[in-house]
């Protein structure tokens, strides 16, 4: 791990997989970076943003800016980011030569509710969501079955008349 891993808050992932720190904890300002594609004549650039949660082993991906159809040749993209003290990250990626711009606005998750040191908070939330999803499906099926029973009188059928008509019975008696 790098020395700034404890203070890192927001980073972008470089082509080699390393994270480049854009904002550190307590750093509420704006940044301007010049980015170049990793490969010559690359036709797309994906700029991925990560949130580094305290006491977490892996950073959490919070958003990506896709800049597709890059022009051929040497390309420079201007990355302008701003992080407010309320936890909103605003991103603008510009290509000056073409005038193109891609934007992204992200609300940074609160670290207290994002993940505890053991990771139990996220597991608990997903367990509750799973339970509520199953409960929702069961209730939906119960309502559908109740409506079917109400409309068709399902379960309350009277016995059907015998397949032999009354006239056939009278003819056989005579």
Q: Tokens 């008696």 identify what position?
A: 173
Spatial separation of the C-alpha atoms in residues 141 and 143, rounded to whole Å: 5
pLDDT of residue 136: 93
**Strand 19-24 to strand 60-68: parallel, antiparallel, or no bridges (unpaired)?**
unpaired
State pLDDT tens for residues 162-171: 666 666 666 6
CATH of domain 3-111: 2.60.34.10
Q: Which residues pair with 100 in a beta bridge?
A: 95
How are strands ordered across the β-sheet holding 77-83?
30-35, 77-83, 88-95, 100-107
- CA dist 20 and 6 (Å) reads 14
Render pLDDT for 16-47 as a digit per residue (tens, 0 to 9). 889 888 888 877 778 898 888 888 778 888 89
Q: Quick: pLDDT tens for 73-113.
A: 778 889 999 988 788 889 999 888 888 899 989 888 776 54
* Rg of the chain (C-alpha set): 31
Instruction: Give the per-residue pLDDT at 138.
Output: 96
Span 51-70, average pLDDT = 84
> Which of 37, 150, 153 lies closest to 93 in space, CA to CA?
37
62 neighbors 106 (Cβ within 8 angstroms): yes
Domain ranges of the chain: 3-111, 122-173
Nearest to 54 by CA among 14, 112, 124: 112
Of the chain, the percentage scoring pLDDT greater than 70 comes to: 74
Task: Convert the pLDDT of each residue in 128-147 to its tens digit.
Answer: 888 888 999 999 999 999 88
């Amino acid at each position: 791990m790098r020395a700034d891993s404890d203070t890192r808050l927001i980073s972008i992932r470089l082509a080699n997989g390393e994270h480049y720190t854009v904002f550190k904890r307590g750093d509420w300002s704006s940044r301007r970076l010049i980015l170049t594609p990793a490969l010559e004549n690359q036709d797309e650039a994906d700029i991925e943003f990560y949130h580094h949660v305290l006491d977490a082993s892996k950073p959490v991906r919070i958003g990506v800016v896709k800049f597709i159809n890059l022009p051929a040749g040497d390309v420079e993209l201007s990355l302008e980011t701003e992080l407010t003290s309320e936890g909103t990250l605003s991103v603008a990626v510009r290509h000056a030569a073409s005038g193109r711009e891609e934007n992204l606005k992200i609300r940074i998750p609160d670290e207290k509710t994002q993940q505890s040191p053991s990771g139990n908070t996220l597991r608990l939330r997903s367990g509750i969501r799973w339970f509520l999803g199953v409960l929702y499906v069961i209730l939906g099926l119960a309502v559908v079955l109740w409506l079917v029973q109400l409309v068709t009188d399902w379960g309350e059928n009277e016995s059907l008349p015998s397949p032999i008509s009354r006239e056939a019975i009278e003819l056989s008696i005579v």
